[in-house]
Amino acid sequence: MRLPSLIPAAWQALIIALLAASIVSPTAWAGGHKERKPAPKIDVPPEIEAAVIDVVNETAARWNSQDYATLLELWDPDEAFPTYLAEEQAEWFIGWDRLRGYLDPPRPNPVVEAIREEMRDIKVKQIAPDLAIAVWEMHFEMKTIGSNPIGEEVRVSAVLRNTDEGWRYIHWAESPKTAMVYIEDLFEKDVAPGWDEYYKGAQQRKKEVWRKKREASQ
């Protein structure tokens, strides 16, 4: 397979390998890895669900304010070892020094010009009287100096504790897609509108082609 010369050689090799895996080894995709199904209804008190969702949405609002240090106010100050993993990190940030250094550095990063986030499809599960887990989809956009804005979808999970100040984070983890799924998503986004209607017609035309071939071979 020959790919456009504008695509770096390393990316060409990766794309070819991924496509080969999906074509030659269909069992690699067994289990419907891209199939979306409705989530079951989680039995959680409505007031707790609403309070946790409010904190998650407030998180996006504080990122969008560009004053990232205010995010620390959404963490439980009594938690001895908060844990945080952003998708670009090489390792977990454990403890307040690492968390503060990430969200409230001595000098702001001059490269990052703007960040925008939106939280979607937030699910809440209470695991103890004072603990809850939240999982959701985060749409993330960022603009850096000299570059066009970029965006992506990230899965996020967090553990929150109920404190005197309300529900507060003690754990946060971002889960980006694997390279294989991410590149597949990029190809899927390039499908032009109207594919479903075209696909139905194409299937009928294909059946007609094979019908004629069978008749000609008899």
What is the pTM assigned to this prediction? 0.74
- Same domain, yes or no: 8 and 101: no
Average pLDDT, the chain: 86
Gap between the terminal Cα atoms of the chain: 36
Domain count, the chain: 2
Does residue 14 have a pLDDT over 70? no
- Same domain, yes or no: 63 and 145: yes
pLDDT band for position 5 (cuts 50, 70, 90): very low
110 alpha-carbon distance from chain centroid = 25
What is the percent of the chain where pLDDT is above 90? 63
- Same domain, yes or no: 138 and 63: yes
- Same domain, yes or no: 56 and 133: yes
Domain-embedded: residue 211: no
Domain membership of residue 7 as a residue range: 1-28
Domain-embedded: residue 148: yes
Domain-embedded: residue 2: yes
Does residue 8 have a pLDDT over 70? no
Give the tens place of pLDDT for each residue, 30-44: 445 667 788 888 999
Query: 133: domain CATH number?
Result: 3.10.450.50
Give the tens place of pLDDT for each residue, 169-200: 999 999 987 777 778 877 888 889 999 999 99
- Of the two residues 12 and 196, the one the predictor is more confident about is 196
CB distance 173 to 156 below 8 Å: yes
- Same domain, yes or no: 23 and 100: no
